Amino acid sequence: MFDPIVFLSIVVGLFSLINPISILPVYISLTGDYTEANKLKTLKKTCVYIVFICVLAYFSGVYLLHFFGISIQALRVAGGLIIFRSGWQLLHLKHKQEFKGEQLKEESEHKEDISFSPLAMPLLAGPGAMSFLITLYSNRETQAQKALWQDASAITAIVLVALIIYVMFKFAPRLMKYTGKSGLDSLSKVMGFIVTGVGVQMILSSLTAVVQALLKGNPVF
């Protein structure tokens, strides 16, 4: 059965990790010389790529980890650390600073299409969002019908987040006009608090599972 609480938690978690709010100024800078038609075309392709990357990470991430011999618990800790770092940077307004300089703009000027790189990846659908989705898939129900509902909820949440990003970026100049940099910084700090909590929760859940496995004498990795 469809669980609206689970669905909402996926949407909030994924949106917080992608955090398009902090990328709005970057998007405006990179597309400043574009015509309105080119902006919409780039934005549409970016959102499609985000959905593709997130869905691919959700369904294939676990199997890719198995191929490289990486356990789910190791991923949760690693992903939790990455997400915690992102949240901490958001709280201090340093999130993805490496992508906000003139170098990125200069590199983008030599590209005909910036929708996949750098917009969709790594600016939006980055390692934090991927870790979150892979962990989500690893925790899916074993019962077929429940697993199907969770998969449907995850895909719908990904599409919804992409649509929200589309609307936000389409009206980015207006948002910047009304909120200003101080408003975006405040929203980014709120997102940072949520993201930090997600990272800590992933680490604690993994450590709890490891301790429980050790107490029961089960293999951890």
Q: Can you spell out the DSSP letters for the chain?
A: ---HHHHHHHHHHHHHHH-GGGGHHHHHHHTTTS-HHHHHHHHHHHHHHHHHHHHHHHHHHHHHHHHTT--HHHHHHHHHHHHHHHHHHHHTT-TTGGGSSHHHHHHHHT-S--IIIIIIIIIIS-HHHHHHHHHHHHT--SSHHHHHHHHHHHHHHHHHHHHHHHHHHHTHHHHHHHHHHHHHHHHHHHHHHHHHHHHHHHHHHHHHHHHHHHHHT----
Across 2-26, average pLDDT: 85
Across 124-133, average pLDDT: 89
Q: Return all residues near 51 (Cβ < 8 A) that are at least 6 apart.
A: 158, 159, 162
Average the pLDDT over each of 63-72, 103-112, 136-145 and give the range with the smallest value. Answer: 103-112
pLDDT of residue 159: 96
Residue 147 reports pLDDT greater than 70:
yes
Let me know if residue 75 belongs to a domain.
yes
Mean per-residue pLDDT over the chain, rounded: 82
Let me know if residue 221 belongs to a domain.
no
Q: What percent of the chain has pLDDT over 70?
A: 88
pLDDT digits (tens, 9 = 90+) for 150-198: 899 999 999 999 999 999 999 887 777 777 777 777 777 888 888 888 8
Letter for the amino acid at 78?
A
pLDDT digits (tens, 9 = 90+) for 70-119: 887 888 888 888 888 888 887 876 655 555 555 555 556 556 788 998 88
Q: Tell me the two tokens of residue 7.
A: 């669905």
Q: For residue 137, what are the domain limits?
A: 4-216
Let me know if residue 9 belongs to a domain.
yes
Residue 1 reports pLDDT greater than 70:
no
Residue 55 reports pLDDT greater than 60:
yes
Across 23-31, average pLDDT: 83
Structurally, the chain folds into a number of domains equal to 1
Q: What band does 22 get if pLDDT is binned at 50, 70 and 90? A: confident
